[in-house]
Amino acid sequence: MTEVVNLTTMEVDALIDVDGGLNLTDGHARLVLTPQQSDIVARIPGMFEEAVRRPFPEIELAAHKAFFEAIGQHSAPVGSGRILSCYSSTLATDIVARALPAGATVAVLHPTFDNIADLLKTRGLELVPLTEEELLAEQWPGAPVNAIVVTLPNNPTGLITPEGHLKSLAEHAVRHNQIVIIDASFRGQVRDAQYDTYAVLDAAGADWITIEDTGKLWPTHELKIGLLAYSERTNLPIEHAFSESLLAASPVVLQLITDLAGDWVDGGYERARELVERNRTVVKETLAQVGLKLADPDSQISVARIELPEAGPDSAVLHKEMLKRGVHVLPCAPFHWADPESGLRFIRISLARPFETVQKAIQTMAEAYKDLTPTS
């Protein structure tokens, strides 16, 4: 059995690389600020003043309104008290894990980012995989599953749960007394994922929890917010679990999110999409020269999986070689949290980087792969 390494550990290693290796690991937006974003960041001193002058609920409500409008979630429970602002989406996930009944069985999308499964398991929950193929076939799990976790869009594949499929899932969950949990951390990057999921879930009468994230959208270097929203129907102790973890998110960061969300609807989305797609194109074209291809050519999120043929090195081998050459990427075995072996033929890179960084790193990958592949 191949040793499974935590993905976040690899991402941390990339961040603290004293030799300055190229970091294509985490999906956070590590980009140069656009002129519009720079103007917003320049106003941060005034945001500190506003944080003293204005009541926190007023600042938080403005951020919620701006963010959910910017990502098309017009039916989100803004102003209801059922949206909690966390330091990060990871913290929000841990709050949900602690709020779920001890020993509950949870179906989790497979593959997906491993810390979702890790956090749930750490809190004593029993996990079963829900494959992307089962999702697309609307093969929803029944008893003993108490909750179903879907990542929309999914990381690393970019799969978007179609609106009709979410409706089917929500109606199934109502019939089986299950909770629908959606991690929508990459939603803001993709218009196709921005149908109003809150309207779909409420129309079905579902008990639901959603987690949104700002860290994937804007290059704010961990000045981010994870938003935890939940249905009026839920009786889980979410607020109690929240109170055990933090007092409140920063009112300065909430103001930053408000202004960045305003820029997002005023051309910021298109500017970000153009850069990501330019990077995706150079990855595709460079790797094609050594016989490699994108595993998910229709993906629109700011990460990309590369498929490795059976005849060549697997992702564990290629990952080690890339590290020797000063480039950090993610082997995909940990994404396949229930069956790591099934992820060995994929490796994942981030596209939310300056073009020159991606271009140099992917050229290194092409050279490494060629050197590792035996010639016939």
pLDDT in tens, 74-103: 999 999 999 999 999 999 999 999 999 999
Residues 272 and 340 in one domain: yes
Query: Based on C-alpha coordinates, what's the Rg of the chain?
Result: 21
CATH number reported for the structural domain that contains residue 142 in this entry: 3.40.640.10
CA distance 47 to 9: 33
Q: Cβ atoms within 10 A of the Cβ of 273, count?
A: 15
Residues 298 and 318 in one domain: yes
Q: Which two tokens stand for residue 308?
A: 């490795």
| Predicted local distance difference test score (pLDDT) of residue 5 | 66
State the first-to-last Cα distance of the chain, in angstroms, to the nearest integer.
29
Whether 2 maps to a domain, the answer reads no
Closest by CA to 324, choosing from 25, 22, 30, is 22
CA distance 64 to 50: 17
Whether 324 maps to a domain, the answer reads yes
Whether 156 maps to a domain, the answer reads yes
Whether 1 maps to a domain, the answer reads no
**119 or 20, which is more confident?**
119
Residues 141 and 47 in one domain: yes
- What number of residues does the chain have? 376
| Predicted local distance difference test score (pLDDT) of residue 21 | 84
**52 or 3, which is more confident?**
52
Calculate the average pLDDT of the chain. 95
CA dihedral 68, 81, 89, 258 (to 10 degrees): 40
Residues 252 and 305 in one domain: no
Residues 80 and 187 in one domain: yes
CA distance 88 to 115: 13
Residues 170 and 250 in one domain: yes
State what percent of residues in the chain have pLDDT above 70. Answer: 98
Tokens 């990077």: give the residue. 279
Give the pLDDT band of residue 374 (cuts 50, 70, 90). confident
SS3 178: coil
Give the pLDDT band of residue 50 (cuts 50, 70, 90). very high
CA distance 193 to 370: 36
Domain boundary among 262, 293, 324: 262
Domain boundary among 262, 280, 309: 262
Cis peptide before 111 (omega within 30 of 0): yes
CATH number reported for the structural domain that contains residue 347 in this entry: 3.90.1150.10
Mean pLDDT, rounded, for 288-292: 96
Residues 187 and 237 in one domain: yes
Mean pLDDT, rounded, for 272-278: 97
Domain boundary among 262, 291, 314: 262
CA distance 123 to 89: 17
Per-residue model confidence as pLDDT tens digits over 100-152? 999 999 999 999 999 999 999 999 999 999 999 999 999 999 999 999 999 99
Q: Cβ atoms within 10 A of the Cβ of 270, count?
A: 9
| Predicted local distance difference test score (pLDDT) of residue 2 | 46
| Predicted local distance difference test score (pLDDT) of residue 1 | 41
Q: Which two tokens stand for residue 283?
A: 């990855």
Residues 239 and 319 in one domain: no
Q: Decide the pairing of beta strands 346-350 and 303-307.
A: antiparallel
Per-residue model confidence as pLDDT tens digits over 217-270? 999 999 999 999 999 999 999 999 999 999 999 999 999 999 999 999 999 999
Range of the domain at 367: 7-33+267-372
Residues 161 and 288 in one domain: no
Mean pLDDT, rounded, for 63-68: 98
| Predicted local distance difference test score (pLDDT) of residue 17 | 85
Whether 42 maps to a domain, the answer reads yes
Residues 340 and 273 in one domain: yes
Pinpoint the alpha helices (H) of the chain: 7-15, 35-41, 44-53, 56-70, 89-99, 114-122, 132-136, 163-175, 197-203, 238-243, 251-263, 269-288, 315-324, 355-372
Q: What is the largest CA-CA distance in the chain?
A: 71
Q: Which residues contact 166 (CB under 8 A, 6 or more apart)?
A: 150, 152, 197, 200, 201
Residues 118 and 188 in one domain: yes
| Predicted local distance difference test score (pLDDT) of residue 20 | 80
Whether 29 maps to a domain, the answer reads yes
User: What is the total count of domains within the chain?
Assistant: 2
Whether 299 maps to a domain, the answer reads yes
| Predicted local distance difference test score (pLDDT) of residue 376 | 52
Using the predicted structure, report yes or no on whether residue 200 has a pLDDT greater than 80. yes
Whether 354 maps to a domain, the answer reads yes
Residues 176 and 288 in one domain: no
